[in-house]
Amino acid sequence: MGFSFSRPFRWFLNLIFPPVCPICQAPFGGQGEDLIICPDCQKAIRPVRPPYCPCCGLPYPTGDGEGHLCGPCLKEKWYFEVHRTCALYEGALKEAIHRFKYGGVFPLVRVFGDLLQPPLQTLIEDYPVDVMVPVPLHIRRLRERGFNQALLLVRELSKRTGIPYEERALAKIKDTPVQIALKKRERRKNLKGAFQVKDQEAIKGKAVVLVDDVYTTGATVNECSRTLLEGGAGKVAILTVARAI
């Protein structure tokens, strides 16, 4: 049996030793035992709300553009059906993702789980979900980091929703250079042939939700989607914590 403090004692400990926000490092005692980040950082996260592109989720200016594809979606060949996200990749959320991804601040996965549930629910309404799959890391990068942030997100969502996940269905077999400094065309070339379906039965004919932390140009999730479809998946949708603009 695990040991846990009573609520009054936890409140007393928080009063004497106030918890520190993992994003801005500010103490914020007395704000509630389940709060992981401070109220100021919570307010700084800008959610992505309609109107946005019905395919890639690019937010439009308020009151403009709802119901039609954005410019990139008219030009690109996407292998996924739709992408939905939580908020803009900026400020407090960007810092939170960096601390989670590169600093191993694992309690933040609960914050991301809270953020991901509304867009996932919206996705489920139009797109029946059979299984979730995390965007994989190459084995070298996995050994360096020690964990796959996308897998932690998938596990959190599965625990909350009951939707099954397959962590080994998709693998990254090509150790690609870091994408951040590359242009869109270079990213696509860099990622070609980088992924492989390892378990076809796990995804065969299924509606897959591919989960990652950030959608930047869409190159990574698009190549993953192409690989999943070629490996037997029925269709693929994308869910991310944040979207870069």
What residues does each domain of the chain span? 7-37, 45-243
Phi, psi values for residue 215, rounded to 5°: -100, 115
Orientation of helix 149-161 relative to helix 108-126, angle to 10°: 60
Sheet with 83-88, side-by-side order of all strands:
83-88, 235-243, 207-215, 131-134
Which H/E stretch holds residue 195?
Answer: strand 195-197
Q: Give percent of the chain above pLDDT 70.
A: 84
User: Percent of the chain having pLDDT more than 90?
Assistant: 68
* CA pair distance 138, 196, nearest whole angstrom: 11
With CA atoms as reference, report the closest residue to 219 among 165, 179, 160, 161.
179
- Contact yes or no for 93/241 (Cβ under 8 A): yes
Q: What is the mean pLDDT of residues 37-57?
A: 92
Which class in CATH covers the domain with range 45-243? alpha beta
| Amino acid (one-letter) located at 75 | K
| pLDDT per residue as tens digits for the range 169-213 | 999 999 987 666 666 666 777 798 999 999 999 999 999 999 999
215, β-bridge pairs: 243
Task: Return the pLDDT at 11.
Answer: 46
Q: What is the DSSP letter of 5?
A: -
Residue 86's pLDDT is what? 97
Report which of 102, 97, 104, 125 is spatially closest to residue 41, judged by C-alpha positions. Answer: 97
Tokens of 197: 């379906």
